Chain A
Amino acid sequence: MDLSAINPVLLIASLMVAATPLLLAAIGELVAEKAGVLNLGVEGMMIVGAISGFAISVETGSPLLGFCAAAVGGAVLSLLFVILTQYALANQVASGLALTLFGLGISSLMGQSYVGLKPPSTGEIHIPLLSDIPVIGPILFQHDPILYFGIALVAIVWALLKYSRVGLILRAVGENHDAAHALGYKVVRVRTLAILFGGACAGLGGAYISLIRVPQWTEGMTAGVGWIALALVVFASWKPWRALIGAYLFGGITVLQLNLQAAGVAIPVEYLAMSPYIITILVLVILSADKSSAPASLGRIFHASN
């Protein structure tokens, strides 16, 4: 075992990379849940985003187009969730599970001819001057554009939810859909848009795994990241900035256990690999006591006749 082989600068830099898929998926789900929709299909939307993004960027050679395709792929799958929960008034828990099961199947079907290929490299932005600063430079200023986009997205979502009229309407729909309906807001339309946004974000997060983090395509490669993202929203008490902190925390755990595996710590690989899931459970336990910040209409079905 050689712990000195772990480079703290690289560790923190790769922590940010590991956290980004979680962050993207969590921020999308956060918006959906703020609108009162519990979409358990994050894992399915992520994996569909992962393969859509991978396939398109391999075919076109452009990672950017790949990410666009991933967002579209995730959103298209979430459209199924919209139809089920907003129009067919189906149970949200069951519909979310259906989305995940279906997404896992359709992604491996789509990905058959892409196993073993290498996607085009996304490349990193080297911000002049800043990226040359020792220690801080490699940690903060030498990443791919999507990583910065993820952080920017947190800021945008936070500002929109807190200060804009759109955010107010979204929150009103999530807190009390009957009151929002009485005020003349289109509950179903707001929720549809929120779900689609969540789908697009999850798709981006999935593509981040298949195009940048890993980068290759294997079946079921999201390996529960979508579910951890769901837990992250609870962890964040539905606050965007806390989602960022949480994502970095989980990213850190993932990276650390991978580094410990590589360093040959005396703990068997399998036990290190299960640590992110166990820590997710522990965090859920610690934070479940306070449910006051959950949107009041979360998971409830809305129909104007009720």
Chain B
Amino acid sequence: MIRLEKRPQPSQTWSMATPLVAVVATMIFGGALFGVLGTNPLAAIRTIFFDPLFGEFAFYYRPQLLVKGAPLVLIAIGLSLGFKAGIWNIGAEGQYIIGALVGAGIGLAFYPLEAWYIFPLMILGGAFGGFVWAAIPALLKVRFGTNEILVSLMLVYVAEQFLASMSLGLMKNPEGFGFPGSRNLQEYASAHNTELIAGSGMHLGVVFAFIAVIFAYVLLNRHMLGFQIRLTGEAPRAARFAGVKPARLILFCLGTSGALAGLAGLFEVSGPAGQINIDFNVGYGFTAIIVAFLGRLHPVGILLAGGLMALTYIGGEIAQGQLGLPAAAIQVFQGMLLFFLLALDLLTNFRLRLAKGEVA
């Protein structure tokens, strides 16, 4: 009989080790899943985790790591602030879409004018769009006590419909021969989020992701607000006695995560994606939830987790092409990772003890 014994202090070692153990467990079980689907498990794992970094075409895939990782890290950093305080923004996908729509909308409004101030305005617009979209659940929670989980998620579906409406209507390319989708911002120099170093995948969004990591690290470790976030998550009662204002915290956490998700959307639409279209969003907002947990809600952890998750995206695409692995298999793989992570978290707070079947 296995018995759980609560640790007096959460174990530091296990807190660091669980993500790694979870990744290994996911590789084993995911490999088994790939085997069931008729793919050689070892080949699949190697294709997903090794080939993008060190394989024959790594020179092409390595930049992709930054391109895919940047939005994940940007969004996950924002989410982690709220998650730490028990404020659950799970509608980042919607904030990502709205950020892209507002940002691209500003850019398209200036077309074909070429000016230096257009892109900065778009960045502001993107952040503002995401912020507003996240402020809706925040204000409703503060004012009416509405559940932010449900509201932020409902707004994802609303945003998706907006996206469809925009790509078929207002933002549709007038020279697009009737196809849905906006003008390609990559062909509009003032609105193009160019690679800072050609061929490196390094665009401004990557820079912002790194800045966000540093910003979050400083905030959580060196700033009063960060302390209040941590305190509210770990001991809500103590936080109330310490004079933490919940309303301010809710607005800050949701607003910041919304703005960051909006930025991610803006950098994506003006860079790698290039245009507003019906299928613009690919689920970064949801995968970022996994990234935030995998990174233990710690800025540096999220940076690493974002890289790993980007790897599964890229590796998954390669495995799709080379091994015929279904696209959904990678989604299952990512979901599985979150499962193992949550389950193994037990070891951080509890000790497993082998005990004879005595009455507890």
A129 within 8 A of B: no
Interface centre among B164, B168, B342 (most CB of A within 10 A): B342
Shortest A222–chain B CB gap in Å is 11
> Which A residues lie within 8 Å of B162 (CB)?
270, 274
> Which B residues lie within 8 Å of A280 (CB)?
150, 154
Shortest A40–chain B CB gap in Å is 7
Q: Are B332 and A105 in contact (CB under 8 A)?
A: yes
Q: Are A98 and B335 in contact (CB under 8 A)?
A: yes
Q: Are B165 and A268 in contact (CB under 8 A)?
A: yes
Say which one of A21-29, A150-158, A227-235 lies at the interface with B. Answer: A227-235
Q: Please, which residue of chain A has its CB at the minimum distance from the CB of B341?
A: A98
Q: Are A271 and B5 in contact (CB under 8 A)?
A: no
Q: Please, which residue of chain B has its CB at the minimum distance from the CB of A230?
A: B150
Interface residues in A290-306 (C-beta closer than 8 Å to B)? 291, 303-306
> Which A residues lie within 8 Å of B328 (CB)?
105-106, 108-109, 112, 219
Q: Which of B146, B165, B290 contacts A101 (CB 8 A)?
A: B290
Query: A-facing mask of B174-197, CB < 8 A → 1, else 0?
Result: 000000000000000000000000
Q: Please, which residue of chain B has its CB at the minimum distance from the CB of A223?
A: B157
A94 within 8 A of B: yes
Per the bound structure, the CA–CA distance linking A103 and B336 in Å amounts to 10
> Which B residues lie within 8 Å of A268 (CB)?
165, 169
Q: Which of A97, A102, A224, A288 contacts B157 (CB 8 A)?
A: A224
Shortest A237–chain B CB gap in Å is 14
Shortest B258–chain A CB gap in Å is 16
Interface residues in A238-278 (C-beta closer than 8 Å to B)? 268, 270-271, 273-274, 277-278
Known: A109-B332, A274-B162. A93 touches B4 (CB 8 A): no
Per the bound structure, the CA–CA distance linking A274 and B160 in Å amounts to 9
Shortest A94–chain B CB gap in Å is 6
A84 within 8 A of B: yes
**Count of interface residues, chain A, beta-carbon cutoff 8 Å:** 48
Q: Which of B144, B293, B326, B360 contacts A288 (CB 8 A)?
A: B144
> Which A residues lie within 8 Å of B42 (CB)?
none
B58 within 8 A of A: no
Q: Are B342 and A94 in contact (CB under 8 A)?
A: yes
Per the bound structure, the CA–CA distance linking A274 and B159 in Å amounts to 9
Query: B-facing mask of A193-228, CB < 8 A → 1, else 0?
Result: 000000000000000000000000001000110011
Q: Are B343 and A83 in contact (CB under 8 A)?
A: yes
Q: Please, which residue of chain A has its CB at the minimum distance from the CB of B286?
A: A101
Interface residues in A90-142 (C-beta closer than 8 Å to B)? 90-91, 93-95, 97-98, 101-106, 108-109, 112
Query: A-facing mask of B315-357, CB < 8 A → 1, else 0?
Result: 0000000000011111111111011001111100110000000
Per the bound structure, the CA–CA distance linking A242 and B151 in Å amounts to 21
B102 within 8 A of A: no
Secondary structure of the B side of the interface?
Answer: helix
Q: Are A284 and B146 in contact (CB under 8 A)?
A: yes
> Which B residues lie within 8 Å of A101 (CB)?
286, 289-290, 331, 334-335, 338
Interface centre among B6, B37, B151, B153 (most CB of A within 10 A): B153
Q: Which of B144, B161, B331 contacts A274 (CB 8 A)?
A: B161
B204 within 8 A of A: no
Q: Which of B90, B158, B164, B346 contacts A277 (CB 8 A)?
A: B158
> Which A residues lie within 8 Å of B150 (CB)?
227, 230-231, 234, 280-281, 284
Q: Are B336 and A95 in contact (CB under 8 A)?
A: no
B218 within 8 A of A: no
Q: Which of A219, A230, A303 contacts B6 (CB 8 A)?
A: A303
B147 within 8 A of A: yes
> Which A residues lie within 8 Å of B360 (CB)?
304
Q: How large is the interface on B (under 10, 10 to 19, 20 to 34, 35 or more residues)?
A: 35 or more
A182 within 8 A of B: no
> Which B residues lie within 8 Å of A94 (CB)?
83, 293, 338, 342
Q: Please, which residue of chain A has its CB at the minimum distance from the CB of B146?
A: A288
Per the bound structure, the CA–CA distance linking A227 and B344 in Å amounts to 27
Per the bound structure, the CA–CA distance linking A224 and B154 in Å amounts to 8
Q: Are B158 and A274 in contact (CB under 8 A)?
A: yes
A183 within 8 A of B: no
Q: Are B326 and A109 in contact (CB under 8 A)?
A: yes
Q: Which of A105, A231, A291, A304 contacts B334 (CB 8 A)?
A: A105
Q: Are B154 and A281 in contact (CB under 8 A)?
A: yes
> Which A residues lie within 8 Å of B165 (CB)?
268, 270-271
Known: A98-B342, A224-B157, A278-B158. A291 touches B336 (CB 8 A): no
> Which B residues lie within 8 Å of A88 (CB)?
342-346
Q: Which of A228, A234, A285 contacts B144 (CB 8 A)?
A: A285
Known: A273-B161, A289-B145. A84 touches B339 (CB 8 A): yes
Q: Are B346 and A105 in contact (CB under 8 A)?
A: no
Per the bound structure, the CA–CA distance linking A231 and B327 in Å amounts to 31
> Which A residues lie within 8 Å of B326 (CB)?
108-109, 112
> Which A residues lie within 8 Å of B43 (CB)?
none
Known: A90-B342, A231-B150, A303-B6. A105 touches B335 (CB 8 A): yes
Per the bound structure, the CA–CA distance linking A227 and B281 in Å amounts to 20
Known: A227-B150, A270-B164. A289 touches B144 (CB 8 A): yes
Apart from A268-B165, A284-B150, 5 more pairs, CB < 8 Å: A84-B343, A98-B339, A98-B342, A268-B169, A270-B162
The 8 closest A-B pairs by CB, nearest first: A102-B335, A105-B331, A270-B165, A108-B328, A105-B332, A90-B342, A274-B161, A109-B328
A-B contact pairs, 27 of them (CB 8 A): A84-B339, A88-B342, A89-B4, A89-B346, A89-B349, A89-B350, A93-B149, A94-B293, A94-B338, A97-B90, A101-B289, A102-B332, A102-B335, A105-B329, A105-B332, A105-B334, A106-B335, A109-B329, A112-B326, A112-B328, A231-B147, A268-B165, A281-B150, A281-B151, A284-B140, A285-B144, A303-B4
Residues of B near any A CB (own CB < 8 A): 4-6, 37, 83, 88, 90, 140, 144-147, 149-151, 153-155, 157-158, 161-162, 164-165, 168-169, 286, 289-290, 293, 326-336, 338-339, 342-346, 349-350, 360
